Amino acid sequence: MSQTPKRLFIKTYGCQMNVYDSDRMVDALTPHGYSQTNDMGEADLILLNTCHIREKASEKVFSELGRLKQLREDRAEQGKTTMIGVAGCVAQAEGDEIIARAPVVDLVFGPQSYHRLPQLVKQASEARVIDTDFPEEDKFTQLPAPTKKATIARGLTAFLTVQEGCDKFCSFCVVPYTRGNEVSRPVAQIVTEAKGLAEAGVREITLLGQNVNAYHGLDDAGKDTGLGALLVELAKIKGLDRLRYTTSHPNDMDDALIATHRDLPQLMPYLHLPVQSGSDKILKSMNRKHTRASYIAVIENIRLHRPGIAISGDFIVGFPGETEEDFCDTLSLIEHVGYASAYSFKYSPRPGTPGALMQDQVEAKVADERLQRLQALIKKQQAEFNQQCAGKTMDVLLEKPGRLPGQLAGRSPYLQAVHVDADPGLIGSIVSIRVKSIGPNSLYGELL
Ligand code: 5AD
Ligand code: SF4
């Protein structure tokens, strides 16, 4: 590939794993003369890193491609060529359809092909390319590490994918099809990447995986290592003061992992543990493989080990067969657990998943109304969680300038946004603050 400077624009949809992947795509193309731009109009290569989890997510991709057609024509009038690629889970699931429906697209490639990106771009300059295989080779050993400069530019917090894919097959979910089986990266590979991040000044790492607590990587001796033991290794890295992980399945919260919430001060007191529904009947037809009671037992055990931990979750309303009674079971579970935050979604039938074929699909109007009721309850709980922080002291990692002059913004251990009056020289520090007041979406604190 020619080394003439080229501009690359990546638009990222969906989850944090896609954010991580987009950075790795930039890292893969950097040695080939590409630099990232935030201005789509000046990009020689435009990549859409897509999400397929819900219907709206993939619709957005097709409407964006419609807009890109015009942009490409405008650039062509100025004598410039523009290559357009679609990556991520829509590419994986609907690659052929994208090629057929969107002639503007030159290149379609799935999440397991990112290490081949420079080669795919080269091929696509000659003919349209589609690559959605699950290759044998290890993507992560072939993807170049980010440069120190790139890591510094990305800030004080970083994502690190340790596991990909899912073997659980919840009946609503496309992930096992788009991301494939569970695969865990070896411990040493992850530790090396984390050390590189810490050396470039990163102070907080969030370990990522579609099913991150199902992590079972091999250590140098070939021994199977769970997420708890991996966290213990990462906590030894100098400069890495904060660790988090997401997203987890209740059945994979094993004792070793739960113990780290008690034993590792670096592991932040925040756990995202999706439950989806509070009705045993719905959990069964969702193929979640856990019950309402077993979920509650896990939460109670975690709270025993780490009192005060912030719990967050994911909920789906309107799954096929969900009656008002089932939905009320979800509300009562939320009341019982008490969430610091949560994400909630209206069920979206995904082609190829068992849920899409189920009888008793719930009317959109009913699902909308349930979603509103659920979100009102979560909003109330979130406000209560924030309110009980008033007057408390907590550590905040100051990350960037805040909204108002003289303010810096950062995150509390519980992942709340915090604004503090502080000198810009403190960016990058973890400071102790007292919570002075509570806004709708953030806390305001004073330095101690
Ligand atoms: N419809 C609605 N929400 C979904 N999720 C996953 N698949 C679907 C679907 N088909 C939600 C789940 C999951 C989160 C990432 O997205 O709550 O935990
Ligand atoms: Fe999807 Fe999560 Fe269920 Fe796996 S565990 S199938 S990623 S919802």
CATH class of the domain whose range is 6-131:
alpha beta
- In CATH terms, 270-388 corresponds, of 2.60.40.10, 3.30.750.200, 3.90.78.10, 3.40.50.300, to 3.30.750.200
Ligand 2 center to 152 CA (angstroms):
33
Find out whether the beta carbon of 314 lies less than 6 Å from any atom of ligand 1.
yes
The pLDDT of 423-442, averaged and rounded, is 95
pLDDT at 258: 98
**pLDDT reported for residue 440:** 82
Write out pLDDT tens, residues 341-378: 999 999 999 999 999 999 999 999 999 999 999 999 99
246 in ligand 2 pocket by Cβ < 6 Å? no
pLDDT band at 1 (very low <50, low <70, confident <90, very high): very low
Q: Mutate which of 173, 177, 247, 285 to test ligand 1's pocket (most atoms within 8 Å of Cβ)?
A: 173
Atom of ligand 1 nearest to the CA of 344: 17
The domain segmentation of the chain, as residue ranges, is: 6-131, 145-268, 270-388, 393-447
Q: What distance in angstroms lies between residue 173's CA and the mean position of ligand 2's atoms?
A: 6
Q: How far is the CA of 145 from the centre of ligand 2 (A)?
A: 28
Question: What pLDDT is recorded for position 231?
Answer: 98
Ligand 2 pocket member 70 (CB < 6 A): no
pLDDT for the residue 136: 75
Band of pLDDT at residue 4, cut at 50, 70 and 90: confident
Ligand 1 centroid to Cα of residue 350, in Å, is: 10
Over the stretch 172-222, which tens digit does the pLDDT of each residue have?
999 999 999 999 999 999 999 999 999 999 999 999 999 999 999 999 999
To test ligand 1's pocket by mutation, which of 53, 178, 315, 357 has the most ligand atoms within 8 angstroms of CB?
53
Can you give the C-alpha Rg of the chain in angstroms? 23
Distance CA 43, CA 34 (A): 10
Mean pLDDT, residues 155-184 taken together: 95
- Does ligand 1 have an atom closer than 6 angstroms to the CB of 54? yes
Q: How remote is the CA of residue 41 from the centroid of ligand 2, in Å? A: 37
pLDDT-derived band at 3 (thresholds 50, 70, 90) equals: low
pLDDT for 28 equals: 97
Instruction: Check pLDDT > 80 for residue 104.
Output: yes
Q: What is the pLDDT of residue 55?
A: 86
**Ligand with smallest separation from the Cα of 16:** 1
- Does the beta carbon of 117 lie inside 6 Å of ligand 1? no
Give the pLDDT band of residue 151 (cuts 50, 70, 90): very high
Q: How far is the CA of 282 from the centre of ligand 2 (A)?
A: 15
> Looking at domain 145-268, which CATH architecture does it have?
2-Layer Sandwich (3.30)
95 lines ligand 1 (CB under 6 A): no
What's the 166 CA to ligand 1 centre distance in angstroms? 13
Which CATH architecture group holds 393-447?
Beta Barrel (2.40)
CB environment 164-192: b (16+ within 10 A), e (fewer): bbbebebbbbbbbbbbbebbbbbbeebbe
Report the separation in Å between the CA atom of 343 and the middle of ligand 1, taken as the mean of its atom positions. 9
The answer to whether 42 and 15 are in contact (CB under 8 A) is: no
